[in-house]
Amino acid sequence: MEPSRPIDPDEPVHPSQLIDMSAPPMRAVGIKTQFGPNIIHENLDFTVRRGEIVGLVGGSGTGKSVLLNTMLGLKEPEGGYVEYFGQNRNDLDAETRRYINNQMGVLFQGGALFSSLTVRENVMMPMREHTDLSAPLMRELADMKIHMVGLPPESAVLYPSDLSGGMKKRAGLARSLALDPKLLFLDEPTAGLDPVGANAFDELILGLREAMNLTVLMVTHDLDSLYLICDRIAVLVDKHIPIADSLDRVSQYDHPWVQEYFGGPRSRAAIGASDAAASRQKG
């Protein structure tokens, strides 16, 4: 084997050489966020491990969306810091930050599609902004992503106004996967879907996790999703995340909101549905 070539200090270093893809894709350390005198999060620590699907839950007003925006870099925290793949975001130069941003995909509530663009054009948008690919190749890749999320080929030329709620979410998901990200953020992905559509979307996320080696952080209120696809559940209460663990351990955590949330009738129904699905798979 030939010896590795020594790194020339004068040679430009690609950002991919500076980050550790074996490190946790995302870690929040000592996060504090506030709006004026109103403190939303304080001393919040949270790690997303490689290859897992994590569900983030919390009561209304606990700042789940604020935390998501902070993790995405859309909001700077008043204290603490966020790491991506072992790198402190505050220490990144502009080029490395752009590279890491392209390793993250986001599905916002409702899909957040551009209404004046077709589905294909929406999916192509990140490619136009961040790559030098030819137009024919971008169209081919966009159609591939559209197929991956389970949309029919003819949907590529439709506009968002022509789509159902479930199709809009799938189109938004296709766009979030346009640059082959390593880390996927989902904001209430099954909100507004009927039970059949929500279950199909959950199954889609599981399949994409395996096919694309994704790590997924999902903000959700959907108990079925928590029981069916999440490896861990992180609970946001009292301005921080006191527990991020398996469903069994989280459901036993001694906190009034947790006990009410996981001990209510809807939770028991979700457990029954999850057990039934597991039995069908074994059969």
Encode pLDDT of 232-244 as tens digits: 999 999 999 999 9
pLDDT in the model for residue 20: 74
The token duo for 35 is 């709006």
Residue 24 CA from chain centroid, whole number: 14
Q: Please choose, from the candidates 240, 177, 249, 217, the residue with its C-alpha nearest in 3D space to the C-alpha of residue 44.
A: 240
Encode pLDDT of 59-97 as tens digits: 988 999 999 999 999 999 999 999 999 999 999 988 888
pLDDT in the model for residue 48: 96
Strand pairing of 38-48 and 53-58?
A: unpaired
pLDDT beneath 70, residues of the chain: 1-19, 264-283
Tokens 């991506």, residue located = 84
Q: Which helix (H) or strand (E) holds 26?
A: strand 26-35
Q: Please choose, from the candidates 201, 177, 188, 202, the residue with its C-alpha nearest in 3D space to the C-alpha of residue 126.
A: 177
* Phi, psi for 185 (deg, rounded to 5): -105, 130
Q: Which residues contact 11 (CB under 8 A, 6 or more apart)?
A: none
pTM of the model: 0.86
The token duo for 184 is 């996927």
* Sequence letter at residue 76: E
Tokens 């169209």, residue located = 139
Q: Which residues contact 149 (CB under 8 A, 6 or more apart)?
A: 170, 171, 173, 174, 177, 204, 208
3-class secondary-structure state, position 121 = helix
Q: Please choose, from the candidates 94, 78, 48, 88, the residue with its C-alpha nearest in 3D space to the C-alpha of residue 219.
A: 48
pLDDT in the model for residue 56: 96
